[in-house]
Structure 1
Amino acid sequence: MDVRTLDLQYRNIPINAWYARPQIVRGAIVLVHGFGEHSGRYLDVVTPRLLEENLAVFSYDNIGHGKSGGKRGHCPSYSALLELLDNIIAKAKLLNPNKPIFLYGHSMGGNLVLNYNLRIKSDLAGIIATSPYLKLAFQPPKWKMIVGKLMLKIFPSITMTSGLNPQHISRIDQEVEKYIADPLVHDRVSPIYSFPIMEAGEWAIQNANKLNTKTLLLHGTGDKIIDYRATEKLHKNSKVTDLQLIEGGYHELHKDVGSKNTLDIIGIWLRNSLDLFYSQK
């Protein structure tokens, strides 16, 4: 697999961005990772599966994540995250003129791709959101929420532990071990990162009727990190979504038991979307 880097900065913050191309390109897909992780975790299984569908894959490490610049777990604002995503989409369009563009976001990435479609005018061919961060499946300690909201006003860049339990990402022990051992994974989060994302998740649910792009939602009913019932609620409020619940699935469906089936659902959906796009031209 030939992975090429993209020269990209956002407000003087160096951004680690890359893309991979299949031999025949029918379209492009922008992949957005979850909170605390990085795009490199999608190179082993997810990216090859997307390449099989003749899609050029574009991805990046978000601000404060992976190999990108910025304080770990901190960003300038929620709008900065959407602007950076918009920049990546522009790169994908530039390198793939007249091709359909898809978005694929996991967890926090799912929050971003859904909100991107709701807030920014675009001509996307389709959206995939796996375990989208719309509402936490656990209640953070009350003291942490109080302190966090106070810090949001007086010290928004201070970082605290996110409270994410690595054991809850997958039912496969090896995947949990790799996650814990990954030096680019972190569990830090600033108030300006966490609270706006929570608010954007609730806002997306309430405004899901405004989604105008065909969207595939996948969520495991065993997810102990993000509440799958919030994804169900967003689906009920929209007319353009297809919801696939994975019985007992944990948070990272692409690294969980039955991951091949999950990726096949995504692959077939993308293939059908591409066929529909070209049949209408």
Structure 2
Amino acid sequence: MLDLQYKNIPINAWYARPKIVRGSIVLVHGFGEHSGRYMEGVIPRLLEENLAVLSYDNIGHGKSGGKRGHCPNYSSLLELLDNIIAKARLLNPNKPIFLYGHSMGGNLVLNYDLRIKSDLAGIVATSPYLKLAFAPPKWKMILGKLMLKIIPSITMSSGLNPQHISRIDQEVEKYIADPLVHDRVSPMYSFPIMEAGEWAIQNADKLRTKTLILHGTGDKIIDYRATEKLHNNSNSTELHLIEGGYHELHKDVGSKNTLDMIGIWLRNRLDLFYTLK
């Protein structure tokens, strides 16, 4: 465990380290969930590639502080990510650093590279939250925009259907039973994330870091066509569409192949880093 704070908000962060460290990877979870959900499957696969993994629960999520589903503003999420990256550099100086973001985490890692000048070795984004695959009720959007001006911290149900995270029933059951998973969202969390997603699509040509993007064509939560748009606007991305894949590809049918694809891509980037050094 790492003892971290962001402007008096306690942040639950932790660190997993292989015997030989070739590089570091900062993992950013999705909305309403937490970093502990990556302990199975994802973290062991990253450690296999000799990557030290640093992860954390975002503001208002998991074991971190803050009102569930609320954050001060979007820039606070990027600032916190920047602090975590600085911590990763401190723990393993002179080693390449990667970012890995799922869903909302994908939105954050892409926007981080677009907005903050940094020296990253590569980015992995799975099912990045660029645009919702469903249209929230009109009344909810109108009310939300009004609340953003009056009470930006008020939370409502996100409307996410847990059945849509995976085609594996057991994974859906685990998600529903997890006491740290929530479906609360404030206007200050949802609207800026949506805007940042649209902005990332429009500005994807400015993406500097080589980026691997994976998205399932069966994702009913986040629109894979928005991911395609971002990819078409950029020269730095490699896109793999997983036919029929649901939102959480790392917990879906074929997850081993998905994680191997990520692992091999990261290994190749690491090899390239040490070849050029």
TM-score, L = length of structure 2: 1.00
Residue of structure 2 in register with 1:157 after alignment: 153
Residue of structure 1 in register with 2:246 after alignment: 250
1:130, distance to aligned residue in structure 2 (A) = 0.1
Residue of structure 2 in register with 1:72 after alignment: 68
Q: Establish whether residue 216 from structure 1 lines up as the match of residue 212 from structure 2.
A: yes
Runs of 4 or more consecutive aligned structure 1 residues displaced over 3 Å after TM superposition: none
Matches of 2:224 and 2:251, distance apart in 1: 17
Question: SS in structure 2 opposite 1:15?
Answer: strand
**Paired amino acid for 1:258:** G
Q: Establish whether residue 58 from structure 1 lines up as the match of residue 54 from structure 2.
A: yes
1:95, distance to aligned residue in structure 2 (A) = 0.5
Matches of 1:74 and 1:132, distance apart in 2: 20
Query: How many residue pairs were aligned?
Result: 277
Residue of structure 2 in register with 1:146 after alignment: 142
Matches of 1:65 and 1:26, distance apart in 2: 30
* 1:254-265 to 2 correspondences below 5 Å: 254-265=250-261
Matches of 2:209 and 2:266, distance apart in 1: 13
Question: SS in structure 2 opposite 1:8?
Answer: strand
Q: Establish whether residue 205 from structure 1 lines up as the match of residue 240 from structure 2.
A: no
Matches of 1:87 and 1:240, distance apart in 2: 25
Unmatched 5+ stretches in structure 1: none
Let me know the Cα RMSD of the aligned residues: 0.2
Question: SS in structure 1 opposite 2:75?
Answer: helix
Matches of 1:44 and 1:105, distance apart in 2: 16
Question: SS in structure 2 opposite 1:59?
Answer: strand
Residue of structure 2 in register with 1:24 after alignment: 20
Matches of 1:108 and 1:66, distance apart in 2: 14
Report Cα offsets for 1:4-24 as digits up to 9, x if no partner: x11100000000000100000
Matches of 2:40 and 2:31, distance apart in 1: 19
* 1:87-236 to 2 correspondences below 5 Å: 87-236=83-232
Q: Establish whether residue 280 from structure 1 lines up as the match of residue 265 from structure 2.
A: no
TM-score, L = length of structure 1: 0.98
1:191, distance to aligned residue in structure 2 (A) = 0.1
Identity %: 89
**Paired amino acid for 2:161:** N
Question: SS in structure 2 opposite 1:129?
Answer: strand
Unmatched 5+ stretches in structure 2: none
1:163, distance to aligned residue in structure 2 (A) = 0.4
Q: Establish whether residue 42 from structure 1 lines up as the match of residue 30 from structure 2.
A: no
**Paired amino acid for 2:154:** I
**Paired amino acid for 1:167:** Q
Matches of 2:172 and 2:273, distance apart in 1: 38
